[in-house]
């Protein structure tokens, strides 16, 4: 079992002829993912690693002959909103938005339409998601052989605001003999398609998942939302959190953002210290050091 992806999940890559997208397509194919098409306007008829390229999402769906499950969107920020809406209008239900620096209003518009269409957006400003040895959707974990080193199947669900840290943490779980059920790079922006709290019900319903790790940063109210969710839903899943960017609490750092656009602290409640308090009050274990995560999980699931 896993969440959001299965072995048969099909997806396209919008913006497939871009340099990063070509690499990402290769990586996903090597991992065994079913990339059934790509879209770049004006490039119909080409191929990227054997994947047919179309001008529109509609053409890709028609060529495939049945609905396509997902899309990885990696087009420049000015065109992302249109690309995501095109995917949604063509019946795609899972969209990974890789692009960063998209204005908030555009992100909010995509998310609003996704909700109307019953679809889910992961990102923007993310690396996608992976179910070890089953499917990789996006650049997460890098080339297939590298991804295999970092991700082995196991009982821990991982959600992270940082793409790189998704792999760093998963690798430590893999090397500790635990492994990962599904790992999701949720994105580093202030507004994202799927927050921790919105993804929790999927993990809750997944038989394979026994515990959750979240990587978090200053800025935004996503952790407060998770704390609320945990309190209201008496979740069966123990959660271990790691908070990076505590140095941003210093007086000299006020009003600055580091690492990701979403780290801008707009009120005291968004600071690292306040978030840690709130998570702990909800019964979430917040570890001080990144390397304490595997043991904290073992302690909680008795392995």
Would you please indicate which residues are annotated as catalytic (active-site) residues? 260
Question: Dihedrals φ, ψ of 39, to 5°?
Answer: -130, 125
Q: Is 268 an interacting residue with respect to another protein (CB under 8 A)?
A: no
The residue among 221, 225, 222, 226 whose CA lies nearest residue 239 is 226
Q: Tell me the per-residue interface mask from 202 to 241 with another protein, x by CB under 8 A, - otherwise.
A: -------------x-x--xxx-xx----------------
Question: Which residues in 81-110 contact another protein (CB under 8 A)?
Answer: 101-109
Q: Is 80 an interacting residue with respect to another protein (CB under 8 A)?
A: no
Q: Could you tell me the smallest distance in angstroms from the CB atom of residue 38 to another protein? A: 19
Question: Which residues in 168-197 contact another protein (CB under 8 A)?
Answer: 168, 171-172, 175, 188, 190-191, 195
Q: Which two tokens stand for residue 69?
A: 């499950």
Q: Could you tell me the smallest distance in angstroms from the CB atom of residue 127 to another protein? A: 8
Task: Pick the binder of another protein from 181, 229, 245, 296 (CB under 8 A).
Answer: 245
Q: Could you tell me the smallest distance in angstroms from the CB atom of residue 56 to another protein? A: 21
Task: Pick the binder of another protein from 8, 65, 234, 288 (CB under 8 A).
Answer: 288
What is the radius of gyration, based on Cα positions, of the chain? 19
Classified as helix, coil or strand, 221 is coil
Classified as helix, coil or strand, 263 is helix
Distance CA 219, CA 26 (A): 34
Q: Which two tokens stand for residue 300?
A: 């909680």
Q: Could you tell me the smallest distance in angstroms from the CB atom of residue 55 to another protein? A: 25
Q: Which residues neighbour 251 within 8 Å (Cβ) at sequence distance 6 or greater?
A: none
Element (H, E) at 26: helix 19-31
| Cα separations in angstroms, 257 against 10, 116, 144, 265 | 37, 32, 33, 7
Q: Could you tell me the smallest distance in angstroms from the CB atom of residue 195 to another protein? A: 8
Number of residues in contact with another protein under rule CB under 8 A? 68
- Give the alpha-carbon dihedral of 148, 161, 239, 208, to 10 degrees: -40
Q: Is 22 an interacting residue with respect to another protein (CB under 8 A)?
A: no
The residue among 140, 143, 146, 107 whose CA lies nearest residue 123 is 107
Tell me the angle at which helices 163-175 and 293-301 cross, rounded to the nearest 10 degrees: 60
Question: Which residues in 134-153 contact another protein (CB under 8 A)?
Answer: 139-143, 146-147, 149-150
Task: Pick the binder of another protein from 68, 75, 155, 161 (CB under 8 A).
Answer: 161
The residue count of the chain comes to 303
Instruction: Give the binding range for another protein (CB under 8 A) out of 57-65, 89-97, 202-210, 258-266.
Output: 258-266
Q: Is 120 an interacting residue with respect to another protein (CB under 8 A)?
A: no
Residues that bind another protein in the complex, under the rule CB under 8 A: 20, 23, 77-78, 101-109, 111-113, 127, 139-143, 146-147, 149-150, 160-165, 167-168, 171-172, 175, 188, 190-191, 195, 215, 217, 220-222, 224-225, 242, 244-248, 250, 252-253, 255-256, 258-261, 263, 288-291
């Amino acid at each position: 079992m896993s969440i959001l992806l299965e072995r048969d999940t099909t997806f396209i890559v919008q913006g497939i002829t871009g340099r990063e997208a070509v690499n990402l397509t290769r990586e996903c194919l090597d991992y065994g993912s079913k990339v059934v098409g790509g879209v770049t306007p004006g490039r119909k008829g080409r191929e990227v690693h054997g994947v047919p390229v179309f001008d529109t999402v509609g053409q890709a769906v028609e060529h495939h002959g049945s609905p396509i499950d997902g899309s990885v969107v990696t087009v420049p920020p000015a065109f992302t909103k249109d690309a995501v809406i095109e995917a949604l209008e063509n019946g795609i239900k899972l969209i990974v938005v890789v692009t960063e620096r998209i204005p908030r209003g555009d992100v909010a518009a995509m998310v609003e339409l996704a909700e109307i269409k019953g679809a889910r957006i992961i990102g923007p400003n993310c690396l996608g998601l992976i179910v070890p040895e089953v499917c990789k959707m996006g650049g997460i974990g890098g080339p297939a052989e590298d991804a295999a080193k970092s991700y082995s199947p196991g009982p821990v669900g991982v959600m992270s605001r940082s793409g790189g840290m998704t792999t760093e943490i998963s690798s430590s779980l893999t090397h500790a003999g635990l492994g990962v059920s599904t790992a999701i790079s949720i994105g580093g922006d202030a507004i994202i398609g799927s927050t921790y709290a919105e993804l929790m019900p999927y993990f809750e319903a997944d038989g394979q998942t026994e515990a959750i790790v979240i990587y978090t940063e200053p800025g935004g109210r996503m952790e407060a939302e998770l704390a609320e969710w945990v309190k209201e839903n008496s979740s069966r899943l123990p959660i271990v959190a790691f908070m990076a960017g505590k140095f941003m609490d210093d007086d000299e750092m006020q009003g600055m953002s580091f690492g990701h656009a979403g780290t801008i602290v707009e009120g005291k409640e968004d600071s690292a210290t306040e978030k840690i308090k709130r998570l702990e009050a909800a019964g979430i274990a917040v570890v001080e050091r990144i390397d304490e995560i595997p043991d904290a999980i073992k302690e909680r699931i008795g392995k």
